[in-house]
Chain A
Amino acid sequence: MDIFLQLTLSGLSQGAIFALIALSLTVVYRATTIVNFGHGDFVMAGAFFVYVLVIYVELPYVFAAISAVLIMLGMGLGVSRGFIDPIKAGPHIGFAMMSISLGYVLRGGARFLWGREVFPMPRVFDIEPFFIGNLVVTGDVLFISAIVAVFLLIFFFIFYRTTTGVIIQAVYQSERGATLIGVNVRAFHQSMWGVGLAMGALAGILIAPISLLHPDLGATFLIRGFAAMTLGGFGSLGGAVVGGLLLGVAEQLFGFYINSSLQDITAYLIIVAVLVIRPAGLFGRTVTVRV
C-alpha cells in the first residue's frame, strides 16, 4: 500500500507537468484548431532560455524563469503572425508541418549552440525530503505540484470568472459571432499562441531541474501531452488536466506493477486504446467522421 501511494504521489507530480503541456496544446488548439506538433521543442526552448539566463547572465532563478516565459510569449505572437497567418488559407497538413519545422529550427539551434552535451540544471530549492506517514515527499514534488496547482487555479479563474475568459469562450464557440461583437479574432489567435507557448515554457522550466537538459528533451513530452489530451478528450481544458494527472499515475503504476519497460509506452498504449475504444476521451465531444 505504501508503495502504491508513493508511486501515485510521484505519478501526480509527473502528471502535473503533462497536464500543463496538454493544457498549453489545448489552448492553442481550441483557439485556432491547430495542433502544435512542434510544441515539445518550444518546451525545450523555454528551459534553455532559463539555463542561459541563470548560468551566463547570472540572473536569479525566479527572474530568469519569468523572463523565459515572457520571451516565449513573444515568440508565440511572432510565430502566429509571421508563420501561421501567411499559410492560413492552406490545408491543415501545412500547419502541422510548419509547427514541426519551427520546432526543428529551435532544436537545431540549441544543438548548434551547445553541441551534443547534456546539462544538469542548477537545483532550485533545496528542500529536505520529509515524511507524511510513510510517504516520502521530496522538494521537487512539492515545488512542481504547488506551482502547477497555483497556475491552474489562476488559469481556470481567468477562464470562467473574468470578462476576458468569457470573451475567450465566446471565440471558441463561434469565431464569426465573436467578430460581429467586435472581438479582433486575429489578435486573439496571436495571443493564444503566446499563452500556449508561455505555458509550455513554464512546463519546461519545471522539468529542467529534475531531468537533464538536452536539445531532444521535447519529443517525449510532446507525445505525453498528446496522450493526456486524447485521454481527457481533445479540446477539453479540464480534460487535459485530468488526462495529464491520470497519465502520470498510470505510467508509474504500469512501470512498477507490470513491467518497467512498459513505462515508456504507456502514453502510446493510452492513445491507441482511447482512440479505438472511445475517441471522444473522458470529457470530449464526438470526433469521428461517418461517411
Chain B
Amino acid sequence: MEKKNGNTSLITSNQLRWFYYLVPVAALIIPFVANEYLLWIVNAILVYTLVTVGFNIIIGNLGQLAFANTAFFGIGAYTSAILMVYGGVPYTLSILMSAIVGGLAGFLASVTALRGIRLYYLAIITLAFGELMRWVYLHGDDVTKGSDGLRIPDDIFFLGIPLDSEVPKFFVFLLLAVLLVKATSNLMRSRIGRAIVAIRENEATTASLGIHTARYIVLAFVWSGSVVGVAGAMFAVLTERVLPEAFGLTEVIIHFGMVLVGGTGSIVGSVIGAITLTTLPEYFRQFPGMDELFFGIIIVLVLLFLPKGIVSLLWRISPAFKERYYRD
C-alpha cells in the first residue's frame, strides 16, 4: 500500500492519509453554515455511511451476495428503541447493545453461508431473513407497536449531551461514523481483512493456504452486522420513530445501490455512495416516482460506464486512492 503506489502520482499515500483525517475535521464546520433541513440530510449521510461501509464488507470484500443488511439495520434500530423506551437505558449503552445484537444477527446470517449456501441462494435466503424480521416488527404488537412504530423518548443523552436537535446529533453521529470507519479500515488492512479479500478471490486456494475460511466468513458477517447495527441505533434517533416500513425490500436495494455506485470493496467508495444516493434523490422527492427513476438510471449508468464505482474516477487522479490489500 505505502511506497509503490505513490511514486508516479501527484499525491502519495501518506499525504492522502492526512487528507482523510482532514475530512471529518473540515466537516465540523457544517453545523455553523447549514440549516436544520440540510443538517438532517448530512446526519442521514452519516447514518448511511456506516450502513454502506458495513454492507461493503460483505458485498465488496467478502464478495458474497448477502442481503441481510436491512435485517441488521432494523434489528439495530429496534434494539436501541426498545431498550430506551421500555428499559430507560441510556443511549450510549443502547448503541453498544445494538452493536452486539447486530453482530449476533450477522452471526446468524453467516451460518447460512457456512452451510455452503452461496451466490443467488444466499441472496434469496438473506432477503427472506430481512422480510421475516419485518414481519416480526409488524406483528410484535406489544413490544414494537406494529405499523404505528415505536416512538423514541424526547430526552435522550449521549454522554451528557442532550440530543434534542440536529446539531448535537451531528456531532455524535460524526464521532460514531469516524470511529467505526477508521476501525473498519484498520480491520480490512489487517491479517483478517486480507484473509476476507482472499476468500473473495478464491475460497479453495485460501483454505489450502491454511486459512480457516469459515472463521473469517463469520467474522466478516459479525463485524458487518455490528457496524450496521450501530447505524440502526443512529437511524432510530435520526427519525425519532422506528417504523417497520423503513426496513423493507426497497431499503436493502438502496443500500446495495450505495455500495455499487460508490465502489465495491472500497471504504472511500462507500462514503461517496452514501453521499450520492442520500442527497440526489432528495431533490426529486416532490414528483412521484422520480426518485426511483433517477435512482435506477444512475445505477444503470454507473454499471455500464464506471463498473468499479464513482471512486474509480479518483483513481484517475491518483492511484493512491486505490485501497489495495494485496499486490497484483
B151 shortest CB reach to chain A, Å: 23
> Quick one: closest B residue to A103, CB to CB?
B296
Tell me what chain A mostly uses at the interface: helix, strand, loop, or mixed: helix
Cα A87 to Cα B121 with chains together (Å): 22
- Let me know if A261 and B139 touch, CB within 8 A: yes
Which residues on A sit within 8 Å (CB–CB) of B128?
Answer: 223, 227, 267-269, 271-272
A158 interface residue per 8 A CB criterion:
no
Cα A107 to Cα B293 with chains together (Å): 7
Q: Given A116-B288, A287-B121, is A279 in contact with B115 using a C-beta cutoff of 8 Å? A: yes
B143 interface residue per 8 A CB criterion:
no
| Total contacts A-B at CB 8 Å | 152
B249 interface residue per 8 A CB criterion:
yes
Of A83, A113, A219, A289, the residue contacting B300 (CB under 8 A) is: A83
Q: Given A92-B119, A101-B300, is A223 in contact with B293 using a C-beta cutoff of 8 Å? A: no
- Let me know if A102 and B296 touch, CB within 8 A: yes
A129 shortest CB reach to chain B, Å: 33
> Quick one: closest A residue to B124, CB to CB?
A226
- Chain A: interface residue total (CB-CB under 8 A): 53
B117 interface residue per 8 A CB criterion:
yes
- Chain B: interface residue total (CB-CB under 8 A): 49
Interface string of A12-50 (1 = CB under 8 A from B): 000000000000000001000001010000000000000
- Let me know if A93 and B59 touch, CB within 8 A: yes
- Let me know if B121 and A275 touch, CB within 8 A: yes
- Let me know if A272 and B304 touch, CB within 8 A: no
Which residues on A sit within 8 Å (CB–CB) of B292?
Answer: 104-105, 107-108, 111
Which residues on A sit within 8 Å (CB–CB) of B214?
Answer: 291
A241 shortest CB reach to chain B, Å: 18
- Let me know if A87 and B204 touch, CB within 8 A: no
Which residues on B sit within 8 Å (CB–CB) of A87?
Answer: 303-304, 307
Which residues on A sit within 8 Å (CB–CB) of B264?
Answer: 93
Interface-located stretch among B17-25, B98-106, B253-261: B253-261
B240 interface residue per 8 A CB criterion:
no
A52 interface residue per 8 A CB criterion:
no
Most chain B beta-carbon neighbours within 10 Å: one of A83, A97, A106, A267 = A97
B207 interface residue per 8 A CB criterion:
yes
Cα A288 to Cα B118 with chains together (Å): 7
B304 shortest CB reach to chain A, Å: 6
Given contacts A90-B307, A291-B207, 13 further A-B pairs with CB under 8 A are: A83-B304, A92-B65, A96-B65, A96-B123, A104-B253, A104-B299, A108-B292, A110-B289, A115-B288, A268-B131, A271-B128, A279-B117, A291-B214
